[in-house]
Homo-oligomer: A and B are copies of this chain.
């Protein structure tokens, strides 16, 4: 099959693995008829799960290993001792070219460390970043970095802007994605040295990106720009704040419709619309954090997700592979290097 899309899966990563991995593969397979899965993990546990899924017949190859990374493993220890782990073998399948992309719901730090070691960053990129898609007033946006880099230099932020732009263009399908830099005010004078320097660099460069300047925390939900660039500390806090606030308000809504008989009757009338709302806010829809900047496609699923959520993470990985994300990144960063050399030459004359 010439157009077969091979996806490697860490069968043992996640709070409810291996069940959700196999369930997710089956759901994803329905949407991706050319998908073929390399499933790494404990064959004795994986085999019966796969055999119970008629949708997976003939499109899963189980690769046995009895090693798995746990959530408590430190990234350095995982790197040292986890060479035969399901997570590492899944990454190695991308490295060797056997798989087009990989998905794991396991330990984020270990996954990032192994992916960096195994796949390396693309030329022109110093640090990879974690990127995710979020719902907004007018559709969806993506934000990066969400926690790979606690401290970021201006150069890192500029690279993240280009990486995010390529992601939004190739995967979200936006012709000319807009980029904003997270700050605590939209005025040019505000912010720390790194964001000010990054904004200046982008403004004074000939980077082919639609830079809209600074954005603030509430611009995430407003959808003011398509790509929000920030350091991993701020981005991680902001992402979890979105999740926490959504959960808080959902709880308040649930309580509201249980608070009186009239409210319960109202719920019955509105239940179909409320179900649609629930679907719209379903965090599983946005499951699948992408590691950008690596020479290979790695997607991290939320550790606590179910089969539906894991299937969405597989969908994100497949989208990136199908839309040639890595080649687009290479092309853009080659251009970027030439540009900055030209700028240096121009400045020297």
Contacts and interface: CB of A to CB of B under 8 A. Distances in A.
A127 to B, nearest CB: 15
Contact of A248 (B135, B256, B262, B270): B135
Given A147-B184, A246-B245, A248-B135, A217 B239 contact: yes
A238 B238 contact: yes
Nearest to A236: B184
A259 to B, nearest CB: 5
Interface stretch (A10-18, A157-165, A271-279, A309-317): A271-279
Interface residues of A, number: 62
Interface string A210-224: 000000111111100
A150 B217 contact: no
Nearest to A182: B237
Given A135-B248, A219-B244, A243-B218, A233 B270 contact: no
Given A245-B245, A256-B276, 11 more contacts: A184-B232, A217-B241, A218-B240, A218-B244, A220-B245, A249-B250, A249-B281, A262-B270, A266-B269, A267-B270, A269-B269
A185 B218 CA distance: 23
A26 B333 CA distance: 61
Interface string A140-179: 0000000100110000000000000000000000000000
A247 B217 CA distance: 12
Contact of A249 (B74, B249, B263): B249
Chain copies in the assembled complex: 2
Contacts of A244: 217-222
Given A218-B244, A245-B241, A151 B192 contact: yes
25 contacts: A135-B248, A137-B248, A150-B191, A217-B238, A217-B242, A218-B240, A218-B247, A219-B244, A220-B241, A220-B245, A221-B241, A233-B234, A234-B234, A238-B241, A242-B245, A245-B249, A249-B281, A259-B276, A263-B269, A263-B272, A266-B266, A266-B268, A266-B269, A266-B273, A267-B270
Contacts of A96: none
A247 B221 contact: yes
A327 to B, nearest CB: 32
A72 to B, nearest CB: 9
Interface string A105-125: 000000000000000000000
A286 interface: no
Interface string A64-82: 0000000000100000000
